[in-house]
Amino acid sequence: MSAPEAVVPQNPRGTVNTGVGLSLACQFATYVLFHVLGSVWNPLGWGTLLWGVLQWFLVVPLIINLKKQGKDKTVKGLLIVSLLGVVLNEGLVFLGYLALNNLRY
């Protein structure tokens, strides 16, 4: 007789860690996209300023799709990290612009 195989139940509502991973992937994709485009298209760095806000063009369709699938916990992780990302990104950009502004005067 062989030992029975362990069955690992899958969580039908998803996991918060999956949402965190999806949010980080969206932030990284927008970071790369807007730093590449911002350096070519706009040397002042407006791509960096808009990076935290424009990541929501990726996040909102993910939220809608995951809600339809019933992955409530994944949506929770996605929302938490995405909102923190916007606050941190915009806050750091704001502080950077303040520092540059103080250096000019």
Average pLDDT in the 77-95 region? 85
Q: For residue range 12-71, what is the model confidence (pLDDT) as tens digits? A: 778 888 899 988 888 888 878 777 766 665 555 555 666 777 788 889 999 999 999 999
Each domain of the chain, given as residue ranges in start order, spans 16-104
Grouping H, G, I as helix, E, B as strand and the rest as coil, residue 14 is: coil
pLDDT > 90? residue 94? no
Instruction: Determine what percent of the chain falls in helix, strand and coil, rounding each to the nearest 5.
Output: 80, 0, 20
pLDDT at 32: 80
Q: Which residue has the tokens 């996991």?
A: 15
d(CA 48, CA 45): 5
pLDDT at 80: 92
pLDDT > 60? residue 3? yes
pLDDT at 1: 57
Say what the pTM is: 0.70
